[in-house]
Amino acid sequence: MANKSHFNSGHMAINQLKKNGSLHSSTITGIATPHTVHGVFIQDAVDFLKALPDSSVQLILIDPPYNLDLDNWDSFHNYLDWAKGWLDQICRVLSDSGNCVIFGGFQYQDLKKGDLLEVLHYTRHETALRFVNLIIWYYKNGMSAHRFFANRHEEAVWLSKTKKYYFDLDSVRVPFDEATKEMYKKDKRLNPESIDKGKNPTNVWEIGRLNGNSTERVGHLTQKPVELIRRFVKALSFEGSIVLDFFAGSGTTGRVCIEERRHSLLVDSDNKLYGYLDKHIRQIKSNLFLPEYSLMKGTSIDTVLEEIALVNKQLPQKSLVKDYRNE
């Protein structure tokens, strides 16, 4: 029986474009930038979003509080009522090729907690955001359980503003080991170029959690691994574009954006963000190939955006071919 996957028509269209030597309409003009700008703001997320211009951000990457009363930033009377304030702004500030990733969980049983199912339901029925993928972050270490199966994963939902979202699969492919690569190359039905690129990482990502002794640790309770954040940044944004994290917490998104040549806007209500980000920067300063960057603290969003525009304007542009739903 033929595969009835709703992705097939997209694959067929992309393959035909490639055969014709044409580009998909979601092709992005990126900027090969040796210098990036990073604005750091201690501010309420909704107030910040309301001040952002329309279509100004390529990627929103957030790990919002789950309302578990871990600290004063993690306590709300009704989670969804609070979340609506920032969910309603996301579509407006994203570019037409823009993406949004929201970390969360499905394990919560009431509206007080950070239930990703409620967030998904709201975005589907009350916003123009489009669902693209559910990413499962799988890890082997975790807490034990006696009344249910022990949890070993967290979820992140990937949303887009339009059908023409940016997606760079090649940048995050997982290399085949040499034995597998040679075996696949013997199969004449397979494209050797695709084999050399590596495999699609799928939507289940095995990346270890940070333990208490991890050298990545900067002190934040819910810090995510650098490589987890890096995969989203590389796949869903491009060099010279703007990544926004309005629950910046540990500052990991800023660190990754510095390393991957993206501009970033880091927003948090807790001024500990400054210290966490400083620790990240000390960890990466020994990298001899670290790109140049500027940190802008205590200034206005307009000033930061003007600086980003000035930096990008001075740099040569290059065409980046990005196929959405590319396999």
Q: Tens digit of pLDDT for each residue in 7-30? A: 555 555 555 555 555 555 455 656
Over residues 198-212, the mean pLDDT reads 95
| Angle between helical axes of 226-236 and 252-259 (0-180°, round to 10) | 60
Share of the chain above pLDDT 90, in %: 67
- Residues 6+ positions from 140 with CB-CB distance below 8 Å: 152, 206, 208
Residue-level pLDDT at 74: 62
Q: Which domain holds residue 67?
A: 28-320
Residue 3 lies in a domain: no
Number of separate domains in the chain: 1
How much is the average pLDDT of 31-42? 90
Minimal CA–CA distance to 29: which of 312, 327, 325? 312
Sheet with 242-245, strands from edge to edge, namely 204-206, 130-138, 153-160, 94-104, 57-62, 242-245, 263-268, 35-42, 292-297
C-alpha torsion angle, residues 83, 89, 94, 96 (rounded to 10):
110
Return the exposure string of 160-196: e unless at least 16 CB atoms fall within 10 Å of the residue's CB, then b.
Answer: bbbebbbbbbeebbeebeeeeeeebeeeeeeeeeebe
The answer as to whether 251 is a domain residue is yes
Asked if 161 contacts 130 with a C-beta cutoff of 8 angstroms, the reply is yes
Nearest of 303, 225, 229, 293 to residue 262 by alpha carbon: 293
For the chain, state the CA radius of gyration: 20
Per-residue pLDDT at 223: 96
Q: Kindly report, residue by residue over 134-172, the tens digit of the pLDDT.
A: 999 999 988 888 988 998 999 999 999 999 999 999 999
Whether 1 maps to a domain, the answer reads no
- Residue 326 falls inside a structural domain: no
**Could you tell me the CATH number of the domain that includes residue 194?**
3.40.50.150
- When pLDDT is averaged across residues 68-80 and rounded to a whole number, the result is 70
Is residue 82, in this structure, part of any structural domain at all?
A: yes
* Residue 304, pLDDT above cutoff 90: yes
CA 246 to chain centre: 12
244 pLDDT above the threshold of 70: yes
Q: Please report whether residue 16 resides in a domain.
A: no
Any domain includes 21: no
Residue 8 within a domain: no
CA separation for the pair 87, 129 (Å, rounded): 9
Closest CA to 119 of 52, 51, 66: 66
Q: Tokens 């966490």 map to which residue? A: 276
CA distance 85 to 314: 36
Torsion angles phi and psi, residue 62, rounded to 5: -135, 145
Average pLDDT along the chain:
87
Tell me: the pLDDT tens digits for 85-121?
A: 999 999 999 999 999 999 988 866 665 666 788 899 9
Q: Is the pLDDT of residue 194 over 60?
A: yes
CA distance 147 to 58: 42
Query: What confidence category does residue 322 fall into, taking pLDDT thresholds of 50, 70 and 90?
Result: very low
Single-letter residue type at 312:
N
SS3 for 33? coil
Residue that the structure tokens 């397979």 belong to: 190
Give the pTM.
0.88
Q: Is 251 left (phi over 0), alpha (psi -120 to 50) or beta?
A: left
End-to-end CA distance of the chain: 21
Encoding tokens for residue 131?
Answer: 């669902």
